[in-house]
Structure formats: structure tokens, C-alpha cells
Amino acid sequence: MEQRKLAIITGADGGMGTEITREVAKAGYRVVMACYHPEKGRVVCEQLKTETGNTQLEVEPLDLSSLPSVAAFAEKRLQRGEEIALLMNNAGTLECGFSQTQQGLERTVSVNYVGPYLLTRKLLPLMHGGSRVVNMVSCTYAIGRLDFPDFFRSGRRGSFWRIPIYSNTKLALTLFTIDLARRVKEQGIIVNCADPGIVSTKIITMHMWFDPLTDIFFRPFIRTPRQGADTAIRLLLTPEGGQRTGTLNASGHEKKLSAKYTNHPQMESLWRLTEEIVSPWL
């Protein structure tokens, strides 16, 4: 069997994850679908094999709220030594209440930022010139705020509030994208982030009393998972997506970031503190 280029997609069984996986599979890549719910992932995997005619899709369990799980997933790839062409950090969460992981991280922070950070850092040795990393962010990064060390253990300074914490994780992931792109530029590795806009996925229904009303009034006017996934797909697969690095992209195009973000005063501290947290697994 032909050895195809390898792509890894987290949250591949979700709304946008399925759409991204479909397009990457159609483009002829061998795909590892990294899923929090592997049983659901296997159903999606079989459907996509039938739809795309690409049988080189496989499901691997990955729990981004567990750094040992992230490390184990990455170690398996490292032991196989297969070059990675595409890494799509798509998985994310918007938690309804406060909870900490076994590593003492607020769960949203682990799933949306620290887990993807560790995964990417561990897989970098398998990447080469032309490899692409795409991180799924959100327009809410613009209202994000990083208060250390509160960010890591509780998501924010003060009481739990899901939207600000989510925004903080997306700011952190955006800064990580910019910083990593600079660090690996000489190796020819491309690192960008995609803002999908407001997408009609299950993450919108957050089980508060007003959420059903939010669904009724806003869901018809927001993007489908395919529309939301479009920017990430372009960054992964098009020639244009390989010609820029360290950028934020929305609606299929680069969105210029101000110096407030490209020279963010906390970028260096964020990298250093995150490195300290993940160091036992690097």
C-alpha cells in the first residue's frame, strides 16, 4: 500500500473536526483522528472512509485534559518515527463549571491550550520543511487576559466565568502560534491559527437556562461546521496556506494582528511558564 503523507487532527469526530478530516482525507492524506470519544470517532471514521474512498484513516484516543494521555499519544507517534505533514489542533471545550485536572490545571485551560501546546511540542521532531501546524482559535482572543499564575489553575483571576476563561485560552493559543512560528521558521515549519467565527456546533449549547433561547434566536444565522472549518482547511491544504506563518486567519484570509499581539508583553512569560508545567512530559 502506498505510504501517504500523515495528518493528525484532534477533535476529529466533532462538527468542524469531521469536516476538516473529510477534506484532508479527500486530498489523499493518511489521517490519525485523535478523539476524546474514540467510539464515536470510529463511527465517523467508517463514514468518511466510505464517503472519500480513502481507507487510510484511523482513530486514536486522546484526552487533552490529561497531560499523560497527550504524552502517551505523542510517544506512540515518535516511536513509529513517521514524518508529520499536517497537525490540526482543532479540539476545544467550553466548560459549564469549574473543575481541575489531575495536573492542577483548570480543565478549559488544559484542553484548549496546555494540551495542544504539549502535543505540538512533542511532535515537532517529526515535522520537516513544509509541515503545517494549524491551531483553532476564536475571535474572543481579543477580550482575553492572562493573569499568572491564576490563568493555569483557575482560568482567570476571581470566580469561575466560562466566557472569559474560554477567551483567555484562545488568547494563549494565539500567542503560542505567533511565538512557535518564529522559533521554527528556519526549519521551514509553517504555523498559523484559524478563527472559525461563530459556528453551529454542540459547544454553543452550554446548559444554562437561557441557552435554549440562544439556540432558537441565533443558530439559524451562524456558520455551519463546514463554513467554520473552511479557513483551517485552506491553511492546511492550499498553496497560499503554506506561504505565510505566524498569522491569524478568518473567513479564508489573513487578519492582520496589531503589535499588541505580535509583541505581546506576556508572550515570553507564557512560553516559560507553560514549559515548566509540561516539562515532566517533554
Strand partners, 61: 35
Could you list the active site residues?
166
Strand partners, 7: 31, 86
Burial (CB count within 10 angstroms: exposed 0-12, middle 13-18, buried 19+), residue 197: middle
Strand partners, 32: 8, 58
**How many other C-beta atoms lie within 10 A of the C-beta of residue 252?**
14
Kind of pairing, strands 30-35 and 57-61? parallel
Contact 129, 188 (CB under 8 A): yes
Q: How far apart are CA 33 and CA 256, in angstroms?
A: 31
Buried b (16+ CB within 10 A) or exposed e, 123-149: bbebbeeebbbbbbbbebbeebebeee
What's the chain's length in residues? 282
Burial (CB count within 10 angstroms: exposed 0-12, middle 13-18, buried 19+), residue 217: exposed
Residues sharing a CB contact under 8 Å with residue 253, sequence separation 6 or more, in sequence order: none
Q: What is the DSSP string of 141-173?
A: GGG----TTHHHHHSSSSS--HHHHHHHHHHHH
Q: How far apart are CA 4 and CA 6, in angstroms?
A: 6
